[in-house]
Amino acid sequence: MTKGTTSMGGYTKKHVHVRCRRCGKNSFHARHDKCASCGYPDARIRKYNWIKWYT
């Protein structure tokens, strides 16, 4: 019998993304120490022309 879901099921309760200090969104990756939305702690704010949230 394989283990599968029983051992991996505990991974879903943890929060991967937490609140970002700069943009305030819930997109700061706790393990990678980088915001997926604004790019904090980089000096430049992460922005691309194909994203429309900053206009």
Enumerate the domain spans of the chain.
15-48
pLDDT at 1: 60
pLDDT at 27: 96
pLDDT at 43: 97
CA distances from 5 to 10, 11, 13, 15, 16 (A): 9, 10, 13, 19, 19
Decide: pTM greater than 0.85: no
Q: Per-residue confidence of the chain (55 residues) as pLDDT tens digits?
A: 666 667 767 777 788 999 999 999 999 999 999 999 999 999 999 999 888 765 5
Bridge partners (DSSP) listed for residue 28 = 18, 35
Q: How many CB atoms lie within 10 A of CB 13?
A: 6
pLDDT at 11: 72
CATH number of 15-48: 2.20.25.30
